[in-house]
Amino acid sequence: MNRTAADGSGVANRLLAALPREDRRRLMGELEPVALTFPDVLVESGEPIRHVYFPNGGQVSQWMVMAARKTLEVGLIGHEGMVGVSLAQGAGVSPVRAVVQESGSALRMGAVGFLQALERCLPLRYGLSRYAYAQLSQARQIAACSRFHLVEARLASRLLRAHDSVRADEFHLTHEFLAEMLGIRRVGITNAASALQRRKLISYSRGYIRILDREGLKAAACECYGVLSKLAGGPLSMSNAVPAQTPEQSAPAASISARVRLSA
């Protein structure tokens, strides 16, 4: 790990960057850098959470997996968040499949070490509590969007969110992958993407999508883009919002790891 990452200064992940300096420095010593490679599965639905990931770049899509292998994206994680947040809520088994959608990098920690860090670090617990609420709100919004909004508007919203997260005008997203995320047939994605391309809002070729007119794409997107953007970009400053930690404050969380059941 390079010197910048070792002391935590300039860290790209917003959850880690928001920690007070000393808490961040201590946590950084327990994290390992890993590559996020499309389309790796970081954790499978119904399986134990063995690691948590703090992305620095790239994107991770969270899918609900239903019968007959049907899927629906219920969350998107980039440099603002963490994969495996349900572990911080006392659930050692993942309720979703976490799939790398855009290659990048992350900082990883084993489940046991993460729970120990959570016990001793009040700002981390506070920040992850707020982040878990944002993730739950995101899933609710996506569920409503899937029921009420047209495919073209949903696709425009999803592409804008990808653009925000990867911070690049071009990114890798195949029609097949989009169909799985949005829970619709591939032909529906092809028709919607063709309509956006005819309006010169995007271009796509061989699994790569380029944003040509962001403002036009925002006009084509459903209202959910604005809601989900606010949830992803909400304030995460923990150093200003949380008082200095005392031994007494860490006591209520002393049984976190005991409450979470981790499979060997």
Q: What is the pLDDT of residue 8?
A: 57
Q: E strand or H helix at 62, and its extent?
A: strand 51-65
Instruction: Name residue 75's beta-bridge partners.
Output: 62
Provide the pLDDT for residue 221: 98
- Is 98 within 8 Å of 49 (Cβ atoms)? no
pLDDT in tens, the chain (264 residues): 444 445 556 789 999 999 999 999 999 999 999 999 999 999 999 999 999 999 999 999 999 998 877 889 999 999 999 999 999 999 999 999 999 999 999 999 999 999 999 999 999 999 999 999 999 999 999 999 999 999 999 999 999 998 988 888 998 889 998 998 898 999 999 999 999 999 999 999 988 999 999 999 999 999 999 999 988 876 444 444 444 454 444 444 445 555 565 554
**Concatenated DSSP letters for 168-216?**
SSEEE--HHHHHHHHTS-HHHHHHHHHHHHHTTSEEEETTEEEES-HHH
Tell me which H or E stretch contains 63.
strand 51-65
Q: Tokens standing for 137?
A: 């709100």
Residue 208: the pLDDT is 92
Number of neighbouring beta carbons within 10 Å of residue 27:
23
Q: How far apart are CA 159 and CA 162, in angstroms?
A: 5
- Do the beta carbons of residue 50 and residue 126 sit within 8 Å? no
